[in-house]
Amino acid sequence: MPKCIIFDCDGTLVDSEFLANKALAIQLNTVGVEADPADLVARYRGWKLANILHSISTRLNVNLPSNFVAAYRRTFSVLCQQELKPIEGVKETLEQINIPICVASSGPMHKIQESLDLTGLSDFFGDDLFSAYDVSSWKPDPGLFLFAAEQMRVSPNDCWVVEDSQVGIQAAMAAGMRPIYFAPEACQDSPPEVEHIQQMTQLLDLLG
């Protein structure tokens, strides 16, 4: 059994993956690029934003303006204020976990905090929030998860990581932690040794 559970945020705790890519599609439309949010989710789930934008620029041969990121974040924040919800079953699950938990996300700290505040999840984690921007390490690099374990004073091999992206699963495995792949849809792209849950409450079954 783990001594700590590390949760990703977007798509794992809060239902923000589609909103983030909806905001990205809206912003891309302002520079003449049409994109489908669902396609963006499928292609870029869990990626670092800078890498997403680099890929789009290269793939579509488009130059994004210098204010693109700031404008995108404003659009995303507005959508979150209007539509963001916790993942189904998350609150019930967190209420029943009695070991230390934390959040380790590729998003900036203000985005993590805003997402948790808007969805009523902040009290479950307190200050145990860790951002890739603060340690300059993005998944699939294990650095963020290793930093989270160090801050939580737990050995990496005593940690479970709940993730909804392949890059997150890769980072957890590289960190020597047990990955739990949260994918509500049928899972076809996960290594066979990785536990797959389709509902967040199934995490409680794994904890016994």
Tell how far CA 180 is from the center of its chain: 13
Residue 188 has pLDDT above 80, yes or no: no
* Fold topology of 4-15+85-207: Rossmann fold (3.40.50)
Q: Which residues are catalytic?
A: 8
Which DSSP helix (H) or strand (E) runs through 37?
helix 37-44
pLDDT of 184 reads: 85
Read off the pLDDT band of 10 (50, 70, 90).
very high
Which DSSP helix (H) or strand (E) runs through 134?
helix 132-135
Residue 1 has pLDDT above 80, yes or no: yes
Residue 185 has pLDDT above 90, yes or no: no
Q: What is the mean pLDDT of residues 169-182?
A: 96
Q: Is 117 helix (H, G, I), strand (E, B) or coil?
A: helix
- What is the Cα–Cα distance from 145 to 8, expressed in whole angstroms? 10
- pLDDT tens digits, one per residue of 136-163: 999 999 999 999 999 999 999 999 999 9
Residue at token pair 């809206």: 26
Read off the pLDDT band of 189 (50, 70, 90).
low
What pTM does this model have? Answer: 0.87
CA separation, residue 96 to residues 41, 44, 134, 171 (Å): 30, 32, 30, 26
- pLDDT tens digits, one per residue of 17-67: 899 999 999 999 999 999 999 999 889 988 889 999 999 999 989 999 999
Residue at token pair 């290793």: 146
Which DSSP helix (H) or strand (E) runs through 7?
strand 4-7
Query: b/e string for 111-134 if b means 16 or more Cβ within 10 A?
Result: bbbbbbebbebbebbeebbbbbbe
pLDDT of 190 reads: 65
Q: What is the mean pLDDT of residues 6-22?
A: 94
What values do phi and psi take at 151, rounded to 5?
-70, -30
Instruction: Please tell me the CATH superfamily of domain 17-83, with its number.
Output: Putative phosphatase; domain 2 (1.10.150.240)
- pLDDT tens digits, one per residue of 57-116: 999 899 999 999 999 999 999 999 999 999 999 999 999 999 999 999 999 999 999 999
Read off the pLDDT band of 197 (50, 70, 90).
very high
Domain ranges of the chain: 4-15+85-207, 17-83
- Asked if residue 125 lies in contact with residue 148, where contact means CB atoms within 8 angstroms, the answer is no
